[in-house]
Amino acid sequence: MKKTLSAALVGLLLGTSSLAHANLSINVGAINVNPDNAVSAINEAPALGLSADDDTQLGLTFDYAFNDNWTAELIAATPFSHDVNGRAGLEGAAIGNIKHLPPTLLGQYHFGQAGDKFRPFIGVGVNYTIFFDEQASQDLKTVLGTNDVKLKLDDSFGFAGQVGFNYALEQNWGIHAMVSFMDIDSKAAVYANGAKALTVDVKIDPVVAMVGVRYSF
């Protein structure tokens, strides 16, 4: 599934880049994913919970304008990494580390006219989050009494909303800024010695913010 999705995204990028240059823009900058601090609850013990820290990576988004007001945007980035820590009865315990890629496709409505320097926009779309390279912490291995501990998260599909603006500095260069709200829900499983030890309902629902430079072809 992950390979199929990756191939589809590559195809979309290649297809977009082959469209008329006048309609294509690329935005590059810092992108931050800040998960909801109340990330999840452990099913076997509802009084326990988990949280994840935020992470900033290199963001890359592609915009294709269909006309003066409507645009499609694909959000991409280098992989995000989050340390997962305990909450409530697990306060202070390190649980593990997860990595993910959250490619997101949105339709945007841009206010104003094509020649305006300042163009605010709103957007709505879908997000598909791919989790990989999940690593259990030594704390978790100690609690479970074995070093054979594996952490696995299911991929997530959900909706996304967005607000932002573009500001033109000259004909081709500008500033791009946006804040997106993503629905990322998953189910995590912890395996000890090959057997499932516990499951976790994961509700990350991050705020994703990006500021960068914009180049329009």
Residues 80 and 58: beta-carbon distance below 8 Å: no
| Paired sense of beta strands 207-216 and 195-203, if any | unpaired
Q: Do residues 160 and 124 make contact, with C-beta atoms less than 8 angstroms apart?
A: yes
Least confident range from 39-48, 132-141, 157-166: namely 39-48
Domains of the chain plus CATH, in order, are: 2-216 (2.40.160.20)
| pLDDT tens string 167-212 | 999 989 999 999 999 999 888 888 999 999 888 888 888 999 999 9
Q: What is the pLDDT of residue 154?
A: 93
Give per-residue pLDDT as tens, 77-128.
Answer: 999 999 888 766 666 678 889 999 999 999 999 999 988 999 999 999 999 9
Report the share of the chain in percent with pLDDT over 90: 60
Quote the distance between the C-alpha of residue 142 and its chain's center: 31
**C-alpha span between 211 and 43 (Å, rounded):** 38
pLDDT at 88: 65
pLDDT at 152 over 80: yes
Asked if 53 and 47 touch (Cβ cutoff 8 Å), the reply is no
What average pLDDT does the segment 117-146 reach?
A: 93
- Structure token pair of residue 199: 């499951």
Strands 40-42 and 195-203: antiparallel
Residue 203 has a pLDDT of 82
Mean pLDDT of the 128-154 span: 91
State the average pLDDT over residues 9-18.
47
Three-state SS at 139: helix
